[in-house]
Structure 1
Amino acid sequence: MAHRRAPVSKPHLQEDETNENESSELAPLSLEEECKKEKHNLRVKLWKASPFAVGLTESSWMDERSRPLKTTDAYGDSDIEPDHSGCLCCSAKVCPLLGAGRVGNMAVLRQSQHWVEEEVLDEETGILEKRKLSRTSLDIVVGPYWPMLVFVTYPLILVVTIWAFWGGIKNGAPKSLGLKALWLTCTIALVVSLAFTGCRDPGILRRQATLPDSTWRWSDQAQTYRPPGAYYDPDTAVVVEDFDHTCPWTGTAIGKRNLRAFHVFVFMVFVCLLLDVFLLTGVFG
């Protein structure tokens, strides 16, 4: 499967948010410039308020739709994570129609709230207290390469499956019932494992502003501490726990929560290809 590892992290956020444009001190800002400045300040505010370890992106898919193709240094436009995937234009057009949320460059199709018990430091007493907090869970989320998943990977599976069924089972020589059952089972497993890989949270880290352990390292892109094995992925613009790689074929990053499903998917690809060959050639028929 074609894949690639994320490049080495590099800081990209301007530290001084109040002086984005030094020339503004010399001349009054126009109405358009004031709007851009306010928009950037709001963008940074929402970014830092996110519970997830994400890079600086547009606040919503509607904002992504109106984002200029050519960025400038004014008002932090150059600080926004570039479109490494080349597919964000598709997300900007489709996701608002589906009511999908945004976490980094990931499209959230369904999320839920659940209660968790955490130890929180009381600022007045300095004592750790256990409190119940509401936490957001990303139930169905797709990566920035979802157009490739929908329009390339799944159609390829569908075409090969129809070809094997039509030529090897329906119009082919009689095959053993066991081979047919095995082919059907493996094909279903292939489709399901791909869905679990491409539509599941890969392990997006929750933002950690304080250092929980000496082994954790600071990520400047996401403004968070990250544990060993967690890396910032510029394609998805999130920090992924146990990050392995970004796979365009599955549309998303591969990490802690979908790595096992990805391994099953890769294994089933080879198994299904072998079974398709057996059906079409009459081997073991």
Structure 2
Amino acid sequence: MRWTPLTSLALLAPAEALLRFGCSQLVVERLDPLVNPGMNPSAHLHQIIGGNSFNTTMDPEKDMPASSTCTTCQFSEDFSNYWTAVLFFRARNGSFHRVPQRGNAGFEGSDGGMTVYYMADGLADYEQKSKVVAFKKGFRMLIGDAMARSKEEVNRFRQLTYTCLKTFGTRFPETQYLPKEPCAEGIMANIRFPTCWDGKNLDSPDHMSHMSYPASGTFESEGPCPATHPVRTPQLMYETIWDTRPFNDPNEWPEDGSQPFVWSMGDT
């Protein structure tokens, strides 16, 4: 799950330290300017939202917002780009079908896409409890490992979770694995990015090492940052609702009973 912020937003207002906004789908394309800069096509498929200047390199030395003329996000000032892998349904007959997205609660009119959050660390009252530093121009990060397949590898990314939507308002429980049964209203992927920065590097070779999750707890519960990454940044979170409703017929699921959904990089 990737993010390339290339604009400045007033992210955390003192009165109510939370932004939640919808972004419709910009494009579904085999591009990844972080992992495969300049490569067209890249190794797997992404859903991309945000500014229309998205391209194969996203050169951080250039003022990308000046190149954008519009954005798919609700706030017209946000020319950042956000993207995730794409989900597929693996049918019993061996065929694969791309799973569309649906608008989140409050954003039902969105054309797929995601809901983006910039969150405060006061979970109960949404008031900012600690000092956070705004993301700098050219800052980049990703979370997750396209090659991760084991439980141990997945545990490195403990805040990448799924919610089986029994109703459209379901938000719990969250699991680290895709649901093993049909979900009446779809599957929500919940992606919380690390919130502790090393204070020096706008990026790193793996696009992750300059960031860390809190040493204990979570950002929302005011968990402390590790000494190696002492600078707190806002909590960036995605909610993507994958519309799995057309694929809920158990007669179409694999005969061995395995869950049928697979990410575009081959991860089940």
Give your verdict on TM over 0.5: no
Q: Choose between structure 1 and 2: higher helix proportion.
A: 1
Which has the higher Rg, Structure 1 or Structure 2?
A: 1
What TM-score comes out, normalization by structure 2 length? 0.27
Q: Choose between structure 1 and 2: higher strand proportion.
A: 2
